[in-house]
Structure 1
């Protein structure tokens, strides 16, 4: 399946699951409160499927799979008979209306916990949190290659994904953070990662790289894929050779080769390069040559290019037993909810770019396709985060969203009477403008981040 078709497919599946559960929350509580539900629709527009249940509710799947709705009996929309009046939403006590409206976001929060529980039980394959390279702020803070990052602040980091998720909030706030490290000799120490030294502006999507941290699994093996003619390596090395040392200096990855070659070139003369060829260890004499890049920059080089690396093997799994997974899922949901509110606050105060905060359907579809291809546990994690985001977004006090309706009902509780229709109409106008602006920003970010490259 191509990336485009895969992204479209997983977008429809993801949105369908989340919207169905959200609307089912409204539907289920409305029925428990005695409200007559006229229509339960997943998607908007012309129905692709429609049937009327024994309860009189019309169940439908709309042509546009980017939302859904539950239509309830309400005499503010049209006249109803006195016999049906007790089943009208607007006739219900305010506490029941609050429960019905809040049920959708609450359903998404419950779904988030359930998805995370499933992820923990299945086990999410990942990479060990081992540093492969450290430069810049990371190196100056005392981190070294081979260090295992055990904890960032108060958050344990059993995998590299947890390292990334834990570091990003501190990086965005330019806040120094304590890092618990196990060095390659087994000693456990604490380091102070000096994130207050980050530049005023940087690409938030590359925060870990800007800090100067590289993962062990990201290192490219020092295996030769091609040798350019008339270079230092021509006639000496062979394609497929794995370089292990140069002039007595170990070369564990391709990233270590250029600086070692530069040091040898500046020193001058020949040196021994050690390689593994067809299982045999060889020591060969070589001398770097002065070369020139297309930009005109000169450098010391051997004239070799790396082989295409194999995908790295995942060497860690984030997993709990069924019982332990429940508190872990609850804790992770609470943590992600706090981080989401914090991110909303950063966006409103301008501390983080809206370009990297608001995602549209293209971005969500691409992410869903990528996570689904990584396995069920990864996809469950994405669904959990999307469900949490949908629930919290709907709780924002914006008219036409669930949070806006809850605001009206809270005002009604305080003042003892419903908000006037004039105020509600004005609120709906403002809410539509805000949602339209948010959707416009999401589509703009999609175009900027995915289509214009």
Structure 2
């Protein structure tokens, strides 16, 4: 399946699931409150499929899968037979109307918890939170190659993704944070303090971990020779597939360490031993670099070899709980992600993060859904949980035409003792449409900049 087709497919599936649960929340509570439901639609526009149930509700799947709605009997939208008037939405008490409106976002919240529970039970494969290389703030804090990160602040980090998600908010806030690590080859634990307050005032938040100076072990380029250049010192000495383990006695953990070792060897002069693994054998081969033009066009000491194209390393950790332990874990994760989502909204409004990287449109969501789906069921469920949570919170924003806008009207009605006037509601509709149009415009702009221009 091509990336385009896969992205479109998983976008439709994701939005279909989220919208169906959201609208079902409205539908279920409306029916329990005695309101007559006329239509349950997943999507907008022309109906692709429709069926009228025994309960008289028209169930519809429409052509534009970017939302949905539940149409209820309402005297403000048309004539209502006297016998049906008690079942009209507008005739219900304010508390019933509040319950019906809030049921959609609440359904998304419940779905989020259920999805996290399923993700924990299935188990999400990942990489161990082991440090590969350090520099900058991370190196100053004393983090070293081989350290296993056990916790960042008060959040445990059983996988690299968990460590990364814990580090990014602290970096965006320029907040110092303690990291509990287990050094390589030791059983004890030590605490290092990352001075994230020393990070640059403005940096690309998508590269926050890189600015901290952390490179995970699994991201290190393996020291496997892919090609030996004719006429260079490595020609006839090294071979394709050789794994370099040491140069002049210095251990080599990643390909990025080779240029530094070669420059050191060249400045020293003479030959040195390059230790390699070749088809299960360990060899020590004599070699001396030459001063020549490097691939980037500058002159440097070179051996004349290129790295093999790295394959994705196998996952060596998994985030998993038993069915019972996954229940509180799912609730904790939902609470944590809710807190982080509100914090990110606050950072966007305060200017600490760019709205370009905060508000995502359908293209970004589609590509993310496809990418997560390719990594397995658990990864896709985790993304779907976050989308469900975001949809629920977005709908609670006090913007007219959203659930939160209606909720605001009803709270005002409770305070003043009478419904908001039709004039105020009409004005609110226009304001809400303008705000939603602006938000959608920003989302599509970000999609174009982040996915098509770059």
Aligned residue for 1:19, secondary structure, equals helix
Matched residues in 1 for 2:220 and 2:452: separation? Answer: 29
Matched residues in 2 for 1:438 and 1:268: separation? Answer: 62
CA-CA distance at 1:368 after TM superposition = 0.6
CA-CA distance at 1:294 after TM superposition = 5.8
CA-CA distance at 1:293 after TM superposition = 3.9
Matched residues in 2 for 1:141 and 1:247: separation? Answer: 29
1:51 aligned residue: 51
Q: Confirm or deny that 1:176 pairs with 2:176.
A: yes
Aligned residue for 1:323, secondary structure, equals coil
Q: TM-score, normalised by structure 2?
A: 0.98
Matched residues in 1 for 2:185 and 2:224: separation? Answer: 27
Contact 2:294/2:302 (CA < 8 Å) preserved in 1?
no
2:140 aligned residue: 140
Matched residues in 2 for 1:226 and 1:103: separation? Answer: 61
1:90 aligned residue: 90
Q: Confirm or deny that 1:448 pairs with 2:449.
A: yes
Q: Deviations over 1:138-173 (max 9, x none)?
A: 111111000000000110000000011001100110
Q: TM-score, normalised by structure 1?
A: 0.99
Matched residues in 2 for 1:249 and 1:356: separation? Answer: 41
Aligned residue for 1:305, secondary structure, equals strand
1:318 aligned residue: 319
1:395 aligned residue: 396
Aligned residue for 2:273, secondary structure, equals strand
Q: Deviations over 1:203-222 (max 9, x none)?
A: 11111111110111111211
Q: Deviations over 1:69-117 (max 9, x none)?
A: 0010110111212211101000000000000000000000000000000
Runs (4 or more) in structure 1 with deviation over 3 Å come to: 293-296
1:67 aligned residue: 67
Matched residues in 2 for 1:372 and 1:76: separation? Answer: 44
CA-CA distance at 1:185 after TM superposition = 2.7
Q: Confirm or deny that 1:205 pairs with 2:206.
A: yes
**1:359-370 pair list within 5 angstroms:** 359-370=360-371
2:248 aligned residue: 247
Matched residues in 1 for 2:105 and 2:184: separation? Answer: 46
CA-CA distance at 1:308 after TM superposition = 1.5
Contact 2:123/2:320 (CA < 8 Å) preserved in 1?
yes
CA-CA distance at 1:241 after TM superposition = 1.0
Matched residues in 2 for 1:301 and 1:91: separation? Answer: 82
2:24 aligned residue: 24
1:166 aligned residue: 166
1:276 aligned residue: 277
Aligned residue for 2:119, secondary structure, equals helix
2:263 aligned residue: 262
1:406 aligned residue: 407
Contact 2:127/2:316 (CA < 8 Å) preserved in 1?
yes
Matched residues in 2 for 1:398 and 1:128: separation? Answer: 43
Matched residues in 2 for 1:224 and 1:250: separation? Answer: 16
Q: Give ranges in structure 2 of 5+ residues lacking alignment.
A: none
Contact 2:42/2:62 (CA < 8 Å) preserved in 1?
yes
Matched residues in 2 for 1:292 and 1:402: separation? Answer: 64
Q: Confirm or deny that 1:152 pairs with 2:152.
A: yes
Aligned residue for 1:322, secondary structure, equals coil
Q: Give ranges in structure 1 of 5+ residues lacking alignment.
A: none
2:193 aligned residue: 192
- Structure 1 residues 148 and 253, CA gap change in structure 2 (3 angstroms): same
Aligned length in residues:
453
2:354 aligned residue: 353
